[in-house]
């Protein structure tokens, strides 16, 4: 498979001895036009990969912050076609790596192959499919492969070693390491078992490992970067862009917060 923007970004990070920063936001929150502006601001803040949540009405893996962001996006009129147009609009101005954080239901409802093809044509680089077990993933992964997209796989603290090995064999791009049990949301500190979980993954895969779930401060981001190849921050970023005014000065303040987190990661 041809290298994606995600593959090239992680190869460059590894070559330069730097850690990566993955930023999550819900596409369409507060609206799709604003999503374009936010992604461009995240790129200016130094973010390496953007993880776009595909709005869904029942996001089981998400905590309150990201659930509410998805609800706001849907209430603002975000649709599958609208999100694809948003990605295409971003691609007119940026080549930042982007993946979809998505649930299967909206993709299956539209037709999985059709959905993946539309995403690839819009300019997305891969999918993290939250509710697709690795045991059932083969036909869906083939559709991603056919369209040149990364299949990002999740590993959690409760994943047994033999299943980590199976996931590692089928993933590409990077492996998303969930730092703790439960749903997304900012926590007080990095889970004590996160480092051991990263090591378990690395013993079974040469792919970059990105550590996420619960990271909300520059200090936590720095701690996570010491353990993994990249850090994923979601709820804290969603909160910043939601709670600051939806105006240029508010967006600048939110982006500055992200910039401080990126700086902490890059200093490791």
pLDDT band for position 8 (50/70/90)? very high
Question: Known catalytic residues?
Answer: 51, 62
Domain boundaries, the chain: 5-266
b/e for 187-213, b at 16 or more Cβ within 10 A? beebbeebbebbebbbebbebbbbbbb
The CA dihedral of 30, 56, 5, 155, to the nearest 10 degrees, is 120
Tens digits of per-residue pLDDT, 65-103? 999 999 999 999 999 999 999 999 999 999 999 999 999
Task: Tell me what pLDDT residue 181 has.
Answer: 52
Tens digits of per-residue pLDDT, 173-195? 999 999 855 445 455 567 788 99
What mean pLDDT, rounded, does the chain reach? 94
Question: What's the mean pLDDT in 104-114?
Answer: 97
Tens digits of per-residue pLDDT, 41-75? 999 999 999 999 999 999 988 889 999 999 999 99
Tens digits of per-residue pLDDT, 130-164? 999 999 999 999 999 999 999 999 999 999 999 99
Task: Tell me what pLDDT residue 189 has.
Answer: 63
| Position 258 pLDDT exceeds 50 | yes
Tell me how far apart the alpha carbons of residues 47 and 96 are, in angstroms, rounded to a whole number.
9
CATH superfamily of 5-266: Aldolase class I (3.20.20.70)
3-state secondary structure the chain: CCCCHHHHHHHHHHHHCCCEEEEEEECCCCCHHHHHHHHHHHHHCCCCEEEEECCCCCCCCCCHHHHHHHHHHHHCCCCHHHHHHHHHHHHCCCCCCEEEEECHHHHHHHCHHHHHHHHHHHCCCEEEECCCCHHHCHHHHHHHHHCCCEEEEEECCCCCHHHHHHHHHHCCCCEEEECCCCCCCCCCCCCCCHHHHHHHHHCCCCCCEEEECCCCCHHHHHHHHHHCCEEEECHHHHHHHHHCCCCHHHHHHHHHHHHHHHHHHHCC
């Amino acid at each position: 498979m041809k290298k994606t923007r995600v593959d090239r970004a992680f190869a460059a990070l590894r070559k330069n001895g730097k850690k990566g920063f993955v930023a999550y936001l819900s596409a369409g929150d507060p609206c799709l036009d604003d999503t374009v502006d936010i992604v461009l601001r995240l790129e200016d803040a130094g973010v390496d990969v953007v993880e776009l949540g595909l709005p869904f009405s029942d996001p089981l893996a998400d905590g309150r912050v990201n659930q509410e962001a998805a609800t706001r996006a849907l209430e603002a009129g975000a649709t599958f076609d609208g999100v694809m147009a948003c990605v295409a609009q971003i691609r007119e101005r940026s080549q930042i790596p982007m993946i979809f954080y998505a649930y299967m239901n909206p993709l299956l409802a539209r037709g999985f192959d059709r959905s993946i093809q539309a995403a690839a044509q819009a300019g997305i680089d891969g999918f993290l499919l939250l509710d697709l077990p690795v045991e059932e993933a083969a036909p869906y992964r083939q559709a991603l492969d056919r369209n040149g997209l990364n299949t990002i796989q999740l590993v959690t603290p409760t994943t047994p070693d033999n299943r980590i090995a199976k996931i590692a064999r089928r993933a590409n791009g990077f492996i998303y390491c969930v730092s703790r049990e439960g749903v997304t949301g900012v926590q007080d500190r990095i889970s004590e078992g996160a480092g051991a979980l990263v090591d378990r993954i690395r013993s079974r895969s040469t792919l970059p490992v990105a550590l996420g779930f619960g990271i909300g401060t520059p200090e936590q981001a720095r701690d996570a970067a010491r353990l993994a190849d990249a850090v994923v921050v979601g709820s804290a970023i969603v909160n910043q862009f939601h709670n600051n005014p939806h105006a240029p000065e508010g967006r600048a303040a939110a982006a500055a917060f992200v910039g401080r987190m990126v700086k902490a990661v890059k200093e490791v």
